Amino acid sequence: MLILLSALLPGLLSGSLVAEPLLPVQAAPDVWHQIGPNPRQYEPSPLPIPRRKRVTEVPPPVPGETPPATQTGIPAAPVQASAPRLTRYTLCLAAGDKDLTSGIAAARAWLAEASKAATPDTAHGAAAQCLGQLLLQQGDSAGAEAAFIESAGQVPATDPAAAAALQTMAGNAALAGGRAETALSWYDKALSPLPASAPSAEDNAVRGAVQIGRARALVALSRLPEASGALQEAHRLAPNDPEGWLLSATLARRGKDLERAQRDIEVAASLAAHGDPLGAPIGLEAGVIAMLDGREDAARKSWQSVVALAPDSAEAATAKGYLDQIGPAPTSSPAASPAAPPETSR
């Protein structure tokens, strides 16, 4: 990450998060024409940050199943001397990884079998959850949303945290399908149970992640002040989540508050670990902020670092487009010595 933003964010190298002094922005209104073929598509769009797996996207505990312990979407096996125990849920996800179409068919068959139970059932919930995750991989966001809600309906009333996790997954699916209003309703339901009187750091991190989802939905609905408030709450609950700071930097940049945008992108960069998938989006956004601030060389170096960091990513493709439009850095050549005056005859 220091390589990614070393030229753009010198404060990070010294451990400081104080934004470097900003240059005049007289050229800012015209800069959009330098960094994108159709900048008006970029500015008002939903926060353009691909979602990574979050705590709230990890399958919640299912009685009798292997508890989730990773952020990969596939529960980790319990620590034991013998070989890991495979469950029908893990096998369902593995089948989808091997062949998505056949995996979805198998998940549907399992769900049909499990749904015959007359009362809420853990197998029913696990089958619906697996189907939702596979449908989301297929791009069927509406089907995934419905499956996650069906799974949430199987969670006992005594476990509101598990239901909230599934409601958040439904919100993420709805947002991926462009249904921001629906997504917002699921996020709000996930937050509706009152937090514990003494919430743990993990509890706060989960609620902070939901607030980040709310912010994305609110931006899509053009409710920007509310989105800013949601991000402030996310910062309070999960101050070490780089995604929240990245989104608030993007939101500040769109509001033309470049000083705030610079500050927040520095915080995001300081929190993103080496190899974090947010590295490329952070670098891309940092370059946009620098360009709008009149620091073309810093923007160029940041976008070049994005290309070097993740050459096959969508962010790298965007960065290459920006670099093509601003062109290479100007080169300076030593000033030519003035020619000697012609000698005159005496």
pLDDT of 66 over the 80 cut: no
d(CA 85, CA 334) in angstroms, rounded, equals 71
Give 136-155 as a DSSP string: HHHT-HHHHHHHHHHHHTTS
Distance CA 72, CA 76 (A): 9
Structure tokens at 222: 């053009």
pLDDT tens per residue, range 71-93: 333 444 444 555 556 889 999 99
Q: For residues 62 and 125, is the Cβ–Cβ distance under 8 A?
A: yes
Provide the mean pLDDT of the chain.
78
Q: Comparing 88-102, 162-176, 266-280, which segment has the lowest mean pLDDT?
A: 266-280
282-291 confidence digits (pLDDT tens) = 999 999 999 9
CA 138 vs. chain centroid, Å, equals 19
Whose structure tokens read 């049909």?
A: 112
Whole-number Cα distances in Å, 336 to 188, 239, 343: 68, 55, 20
* 3-class DSSP state of 332: coil
Task: Say how far apart CA 312 and CA 235 lie, in whole Å.
Answer: 31
Mean pLDDT over residues 323-337, rounded? 76
CA 276/CA 1 separation, integer angstroms: 9
- Which position has the higher pLDDT, 250 or 116? 250
Q: What is the pLDDT of residue 285?
A: 96
Digit-coded pLDDT (tens) for 182-196? 999 999 999 998 887
Q: Considering only CA atoms, which of 268, 282, 270 is closest in space to residue 310?
A: 282
Interval 310-322 mean pLDDT = 94
Give me the mean pLDDT over the 113-117 stretch. 87
Contact 210, 243 (CB under 8 A): no
- Rg (C-alpha) for the chain, rounded Å, is 25
Query: Which residue would you say has higher pLDDT here, 124 or 343?
Result: 124
The token duo for 45 is 């769009």
Burial (CB count within 10 angstroms: exposed 0-12, middle 13-18, buried 19+), residue 202? exposed
199-241, pLDDT tens digit by residue? 888 889 989 999 999 999 999 999 999 999 999 999 999 999 9
Helix (H, G, I), strand (E, B), or coil: what is residue 178? coil
